[in-house]
Amino acid sequence: MEMLEGLNEAQKAAAGHIEGPMMVVAGAGSGKTRVLTHRIAHLIDQGVDPFSILALTFTNKAAKEMKARIGKIVGDAEARNIWMGTFHSVFARILRIESERINYPSNFTIYDTQDSRSVIKDVIKGLGLDDKLYKPNSVHGRISGAKNNLIAPQDYAANPDIMGEDQQAGRPRIAEIYAGYNNRLQRSGAMDFDDLLFKTNILLRDFPDLLHKYQQKFAFLLVDEYQDTNFAQYLIIRQLGAARENVCVVGDDAQSIYSFRGANIQNILNFQRDYPDCTVFKLEQNYRSTKTIVEAANTIIAKNQDQIQKEVWTGNDEGEKIQVHRALSDNDEGAHIADAIMTTRSRERATHKDFAILYRTNAQSRAFEEQLRKRNIPYRIYGGLSFYQRKEIKDLIAYFRLVANPADDESLKRVVNYPARGIGKTTLDRMTVASAHHDCSLWDVLREPFRQPSDLKGRAWAKLQDFATMMEGFATKLETATAFDLGHHIAQHTGLLRELHKDKTPEGVARYENVEELLAGMKEFSEEVDPANPEAIRTMADFLVDVALLTDADQDDGDDDKVSMMTIHAAKGLEFPYVYVVGLEENLFPSQMALNTREELEEERRLFYVALTRAEKKATLSYALTRYRWGQLIQNEPSRFIEEIDERYLLLPTVSAKRPEPFDFNNARTSFYKPMPSGASAPPKPGMKKVGRRPATEDSPQSEASSGTVPAQAGNIAPGVEVKHARFGKGKVLKLEGEAPNIKATVFFPSAGQKQLLLKFAKLEVL
């Protein structure tokens, strides 16, 4: 049992089990990756052919890490032969092998979300529909949901419930858009992400010989994060595992948080019903967090009804209590968290990357960004514009995709006049009309004379032909050149590198450097050796498959020393010594959109559980009594999730460091609005600070230059701060000039435009 050394008893039992269906319920921080890794190594050690093992993950990064770990145990040669990767990457590989069965070229393009929405927008326009009613993002979400539930366009249109929902939403023609969108994909030899699973299910459903082939090929199936699978993924696993039932799933129902993507928690909850003979293993020892964090998280998740019972525990130290911070406003919340990071980093000698700020929605990041910038604290926002979504990168990759698949209309439209070649919108519109008339790709219109539009001749047509000839020249190198050699050749000979190099602005230089970085990555990719075929070169087609299936998580190297900021959904699978879970207010977290059913509320609670269990040493929870939402100042009450934590694990908020106040959850809404004693002056409303001189403390030093008549003090008015003026209403400070007591503020008021105000007379209130 050498392959199982270093595991605890529960891990060893799970990793050592071989035959039959099995489910590993892995609590947060319990070492599930170790179990998967050692189980695969153990299978190989017991004589199982690596080629017959299919291991499915949710990120390429996770698959590569697991494969590297397995390689250290059994050797790289064996590890490389395992079929391991994301659902999308593994089944894209199978689809390329079997594509002719469903009338697709083997070099089909994979469209990302941006590409898909661009096609949908064109289809909406072609049908003469209003894109403000039929918003491409919303329509794409509707189509994606249908595909994840294996509902084809014809089935969509024939389903009275679905059509009734669209009718009620005032968008009765989504079925037509879906059909037109799918037709455009087929015509362009393209699949979207959802198609990679949808088409795989079609292959396994409609071609019994293929189902039998892959059932025999994959003797052992392992699925990570099983609680995140949707119906399409569930059905693929059921079909592939039906012959032998050597299906091992690993997951944690308490961390099922992706229902908005189609994930179905019932897949893991009902696994024992699907496989009555399955063996269940529970990993309950948490190696990540302190005892306080683990036990507090247990008290939260215990409130959910739909769950597999387990008791997560840890042998780690007790640790600090979970601090609950009550802020007057969202800006105050941001300032407190930024200060806390500075203090903790200094006291604990921590690095910036030890800290994470987690929020429910991306919109909450603003207040924290502003406060971190003011203190020169470096940070990184996850889920922002990824490297491969930058315009200059998408432009060059569009050239690559068009060379590999000339039928790709989206790529052709993107680059046919970039860099500028005198091919204008009118020319492209005429091409588009011709392609719709002949039901063919734009490339077919270009290269088949009988499809040439009658109103497109002369110089415009000649320029199009020159472009097509150039692309065909690139295509001759597809099979013989490495991805880097062809990529560099295309970047040079299209004029793209020259175009970017002309722009000497900081933004232009950054774009040029991004393209250089892409080419450097292609160089590294091209030099990797395929162990199954050491002599084979890594071509452009290989590179495009690799790039198309990257996720945000795969693109993060995690090496920069920066504070991490992200939504809780993006944080799943990560861990940090110090975690701040912010915006814990009713109707924000839990979200107002998720309070209609018990199932929705339970998913929000699981999301909070995930947030808290990201913390290793210390967790802080914070909420704001007032927050601007949709342009309105909203008064908040603390989230019910704070109240659900056993109070013994919490360090509750006080009014000030000098005068503690007992925290009463039931009275939290009114505790700041008690009537003032007779004769006392009324305090400012929560979230509104009367600008004026305040006592000097360690936290709020007074400016020695201040004369006492100037309302603006350090920490009150600064560029970016929102203020209120008695005459002009709400506005935003753009800049400050001068010195006290004659400081001038330039403020933009939506009702009155830009104004310059002398602060000692303006009587501004900070919002």
- Strands of the sheet with 689-690, listed across from one edge: 689-690, 765-766, 722-725, 729-737, 744-749, 753-758
Alpha carbons 765 and 686: distance in angstroms, whole number: 12
Residue 431 and residue 467 in contact, taking contact as beta carbons nearer than 8 Å: no
Residues linked to residue 766 through DSSP beta bridges, in sequence order: 689, 723
**Backbone angle region of 346, left / alpha / beta, with phi > 0 → left and psi within -120 to 50 → alpha:** alpha
**From the CB of residue 701, how many other CB atoms can be counted at a distance below 10 Å?**
11
Q: Compute the Cα dihedral for 243, 249, 254, 256 and give only its sign.
A: negative
Query: Mean pLDDT, the chain, as a whole number?
Result: 86
pLDDT in tens, 106-152: 989 999 888 999 999 999 999 999 989 999 999 999 999 999 999 99
List Cβ neighbours of 732 (8 Å cut-off, separation of 6 or more). Answer: 720, 721, 722, 723, 747, 748
Distance of CA 212 to the CA centre of its chain: 36
pLDDT > 90 fraction of the chain, expressed in percent and rounded = 64
Written as six digits, the tokens of 192 are 């979207």
Q: Which residues of 704-738 are buried (b: 16+ CB within 10 A; e: fewer)?
A: eebeeebbbbeebbeeebbbbbeebebbebeebee
Q: What is the pLDDT of residue 308?
A: 93
Residue linked to tokens 């920066």: 562
Written as six digits, the tokens of 280 are 């269940």
Among residues 78, 225, 253, 603, which one is catalytic?
A: 225
| Position 718 pLDDT exceeds 70 | yes
Residue linked to tokens 């790289």: 76
255 an active-site residue?
yes
| Position 730 pLDDT exceeds 90 | no
Q: Compute the Cα dihedral for 554, 558, 562, 566 and give only its sign.
A: positive
| Position 705 pLDDT exceeds 90 | no
Written as six digits, the tokens of 289 are 């967090």
Residue 625 and residue 686 in contact, taking contact as beta carbons nearer than 8 Å: yes
| Position 703 pLDDT exceeds 70 | no
Pick the most confident of 63-77, 426-440, 622-636: 426-440
Secondary structure tally for the chain: helices H, strands E = 32, 22
Q: What is the pLDDT of residue 556?
A: 52
Among residues 37, 86, 227, 255, which one is catalytic?
A: 255
Residue 350 and residue 377 in contact, taking contact as beta carbons nearer than 8 Å: no
pLDDT in tens, 583-603: 999 999 999 888 889 999 999
**From the CB of residue 684, how many other CB atoms can be counted at a distance below 10 Å?**
11
Q: What is the pLDDT of residue 39?
A: 94
Residue 200 and residue 191 in contact, taking contact as beta carbons nearer than 8 Å: no
Residue 693 and residue 713 in contact, taking contact as beta carbons nearer than 8 Å: yes
pLDDT in tens, 149-163: 999 999 999 999 999
Q: What is the pLDDT of residue 551?
A: 59
225 an active-site residue?
yes
Mean pLDDT is lowest, of 70-84, 255-269, 705-719, for 705-719
Q: What is the pLDDT of residue 205?
A: 95
Cα 181 to Cα 129, 171, 393: the distances in Å are: 14, 16, 25
Pick the most confident of 222-226, 672-676, 694-698, 724-728: 222-226
Cα 691 to Cα 590, 684, 688, 763: the distances in Å are: 34, 10, 9, 7
Residue 640 and residue 586 in contact, taking contact as beta carbons nearer than 8 Å: yes
Count CA atoms within 13 Å of residue 153 on its CB side: 14
| Three-state SS letters, 216-256 | HHCCEEEECCHHHCCHHHHHHHHHHHCCCCCEEEEECHHHC
Among residues 11, 12, 32, 57, which one is catalytic?
A: 32
pLDDT in tens, 326-348: 999 998 999 999 999 999 999 99
Written as six digits, the tokens of 525 are 């990719």
| Position 713 pLDDT exceeds 60 | no
Q: What is the pLDDT of residue 586?
A: 94
pLDDT in tens, 209-245: 999 999 999 999 999 999 999 999 999 999 999 999 9
Q: Compute the Cα dihedral for 512, 517, 520, 521 and give only its sign.
A: negative
559 an active-site residue?
no
Mean pLDDT is lowest, of 23-27, 239-243, 390-394, 659-663, for 659-663
More reliable by pLDDT, 13 or 559: 13
| Position 197 pLDDT exceeds 90 | yes
- Looking at residues 632-659, what average pLDDT do you find? 80
Distance of CA 693 to the CA centre of its chain: 44
Among residues 224, 330, 546, 765, which one is catalytic?
A: 224
Query: Residue 57: enclosing H or E segment and its boundaries?
Result: strand 53-57
- Looking at residues 183-196, what average pLDDT do you find? 94
Written as six digits, the tokens of 691 are 């600008």
3-state SS, residue 365: helix
511 an active-site residue?
no
- Split at pLDDT 50, 70, 90, the class of 673 is very low
Residues written for the chain: 767
Alpha carbons 626 and 687: distance in angstroms, whole number: 6
Residue 590, preceding bond cis, omega within 30 degrees?
yes
Among residues 605, 606, 614, 640, which one is catalytic?
A: 614
| Position 712 pLDDT exceeds 60 | no
List Cβ neighbours of 759 (8 Å cut-off, separation of 6 or more). Answer: 691, 710, 711, 712, 717, 743, 744, 745
Residue 275 and residue 256 in contact, taking contact as beta carbons nearer than 8 Å: no
pLDDT in tens, 453-505: 888 888 889 999 999 999 999 999 999 999 999 999 999 999 999 999 998 88
| Position 702 pLDDT exceeds 60 | no
